[in-house]
Structure 1
């Protein structure tokens, strides 16, 4: 039986690192977990993480508080067993308990497994949307092709320049 619980320590997040798009850094995990409006749920089978979902509460003056489902991942060996649906439903319950009036997610149109998991959890498609992004770099870095100025650094003040495999740092846009 899959057990879903909220992550409360970087060690729990690191144990689920294989579920994330890119390398997980303990200091970033701690920063995420320190925010009371950020939520990370991990699904485990026999103590082994097999899925995770992250969400962040957003409050706007004319919309109130909603939950943005940032990322959902299920280990390939455990897909099509309802784990994704269970994670989304658990996040929805948490959002409701915290006073959110709704939950939304951006998903790539060709990501059929994610769309199926969201639909099974009661999330309705509202139609096409276009995601636009802008990297935040200082002007000198932008001109030289330097890295984004995210403000995130390692303990020595260095910014990440490579992914876990030594290649370029991973794209951090939401993938749903």
Structure 2
């Protein structure tokens, strides 16, 4: 990823993450974007030069950019030898062609090449497409967070 691609990607990622947090009932709409931007800036304090972060683009042989994967080589909870997928995204017009699976596989290979022995990620429970992709790629549930809304 280049610097010219990084800044728009970071803004887009923060908007999407904020929307997911609001939809999941975790954050309010008023606070969501600021919180997402702060979280992204904390994880990538040096932008593209942040140590231990892989920001990879999926590019077809003709140069068409189809998606991206962001992997941290150190797990956010400190699990030794375990990398963490922060983002995997395929552009809408390129979905349904196996490119997400290929990007995930390439990201895993890059993490392994940097010493990772495992990879974890979080996925929102309402994202059935992503859950199916990860399950079919060999990921298994290791923790599960559940919520019940209480009536007034």
What's the TM-score bracket when you normalise by the shorter of the two chains? 0.5 to 0.7
Alignment of 1:33 onto 2:48? yes
Q: Work out which structure has the larger RCO, using CA pairs closer than 8 Å and 6 or more positions apart in sequence.
A: 1
1:13 to 6, 10, 23: 6
1:111 to 101, 115, 127: 127
Alignment of 1:74 onto 2:90? yes
Unaligned runs of 5+ in 2: 17-36, 148-152
Give the Å deviation of 1:104: 0.2
Aligned length: 121
Give the Å deviation of 1:82: 0.9
Aligned-partner Cα distance in 2 for 1:75–1:37: 25
So what's the TM-score if we normalise by structure 1? 0.56
Cα RMSD for the two superposed structures: 3.2
Q: Which runs of 4+ in 1 moved over 4 A?
A: 14-19
Give the Å deviation of 1:115: 1.3
Unaligned runs of 5+ in 1: 1-6, 132-176
So what's the TM-score if we normalise by structure 2? 0.64
SS in 1 for 2:57: strand
Aligned-partner Cα distance in 1 for 2:65–2:106: 16
Alignment of 1:49 onto 2:65? yes
Q: What are the equivalent positions in structure 2 for 1:84-99 lying under 5 Å apart?
A: 84-99=100-115
Give the Å deviation of 1:127: 4.4
